[in-house]
Chains A and B, each alone.
Chain A
Amino acid sequence: MTPEVAAPAGPPALAELAQVPWRRRTDQRYLDRYARIWSFWTLLYALPFPAAAVVLVALEPLTIPVALACLAHGWVIPELYAYRGASVLRPKGARNEHAEPVAQGFLGDLLSHEARALHRETGLALERSGLGVWLVGEAGALLLPPGGRRVHCFCVRATEPGLPPSDRIAHLLLALRTDEGGFATVANHAFCGAPWRVRRRLPVAMRPGLDAARAAARPPRR
């Protein structure tokens, strides 16, 4: 299949799309399809292990230790994927503490009052946009599509080393605001699945950020 042109005619295109001309531009349809494929793939690699455990025990009860090892495999592998998804939000790189207060003030100017308070508490910036609710960290972002039942984890970072953490978030936030679809295209998809799977792998201080993003992604109650 021929890849589609990264930048559409009309909407603003992120300059960084030129680095990934082979990638199909991310939109809602692409994300839905990606989520379905990810779910199918998760079942494909996780289910054979418990199935093998059942068959082993049925054939020979003495194989219970091997069956338990199979069950452990079936549990660990999806957990490792979820850990990879949560890792996109973990603090990374130099803390640059002398410049961080300045960067934090600048980032605060870009955020709403509510998002600024959340950033102060969790180190994450919440941003509502066309594809859903984003939670932006220093070296990655989570996207919760409307409904909040699924989370897409993206690994993406500013290329300048030595930036204070809040400036790294501001870089990602400005790119996201410029071209949301382009931002998601440039970023590497690290995980897609249920938010609770990512939440328990997040540092404790960041969990309220994911909770707030889920609440923002849910439709308002009548």
Chain B
Amino acid sequence: MSRLIRMDATGHSTLAEWTAQDEPAFEAAVREFRAQLDVGYIGVLDQGKGKAEQIRELPRDAGLVIMRRPIAGG
């Protein structure tokens, strides 16, 4: 089961869940992913071992996709 989550004031919120075979669930996840990008979130795919990838399209076979806010120098 793939998951799209957003880091927010609640700790994190699960926005969508899908499997590679479940087309309607994946399409709903893609819509949610794009909606989050539109309001300024950044999509990240954590690849483990100290690597992460910023993504602009939701991969169908992703395990966990995380939406984060931009960072800035303090």
Name the CB-closest residue of A to B42.
A15
User: Is B8 part of the contact surface with A, judged by Cβ < 8 Å?
Assistant: yes
Chain A residue with minimal CB distance to B64? A109
Number of chain B residues whose Cβ lies closer than 8 Å to a Cβ of chain A: 23
B71, A186: Cβ atoms closer than 8 Å: yes
Q: How far is the CA of A14 from the CA of B72 in the complex (A)?
A: 11
Partner among A14, A103, A110, A129 whose Cβ is within 8 Å of the Cβ of B46: A110
Chain A positions within 8 Å of B38 at CB level: none
Chain A residues whose C-beta falls within 8 Å of the C-beta of B4 in the assembled complex = none
Residue A88 interfacial (CB < 8 Å)? yes
Residue of A nearest to B44 (CB): A174
A1-32: CB near B (< 8 Å → 1, else 0) gives 00000000000101110011000000000000
Q: A170-B7, A177-B51 are contacts. A106–B70 as well, Cβ < 8 Å? A: no
Q: Are B9 and A156 in contact (CB under 8 A)?
A: no
Additional 5 contacts, C-beta under 8 A, given A170-B68, A171-B68 = A12-B53, A16-B70, A101-B11, A163-B69, A174-B44
Residues of A within 8 A of B74 (CB): 88, 139-140, 155-157, 187-188
Q: Quick one: which of A128, A160, A187 contacts B69, CB cutoff 8 A?
A: A160
Q: Flag whether B24 is at the interface (Cβ < 8 A).
A: no
Asked if B53 and A178 sit within 8 Å, CB to CB, the answer is yes
> 0/1 per residue, B44-63, Cβ < 8 Å to A?
10100011111000000000
B12 near A167: Cβ-Cβ < 8 Å: yes
Q: Which residues of B contact A174 (CB under 8 A)?
A: 44, 46, 52, 66, 68
A206 within 8 A of B: no
Complex Cα spacing A167 to B11, Å:
7
- Nearest Cβ distance between residue B62 and chain A, in whole angstroms? 14
Q: Chain B contacts of A156 at CB under 8 A?
A: 71-74
Whose C-beta in chain B lies nearest to the C-beta of A127?
Answer: B50
What's the least CB distance linking A200 to chain B, in Å?
A: 22
Q: Across the interface, do B46 and A177 meet the contact criterion of CB distance under 8 Å?
A: yes
Closest 7 CB pairs of A and B: A102-B11, A155-B74, A177-B52, A188-B73, A160-B69, A99-B11, A103-B11
A178 contacts B11, CB within 8 Å? no
Q: Which residues of B contact A188 (CB under 8 A)?
A: 73-74
Q: Please state if B69 and A171 are interface contacts (CB–CB under 8 Å).
A: yes
Is A157's CB under 8 angstroms from B7's CB?
no
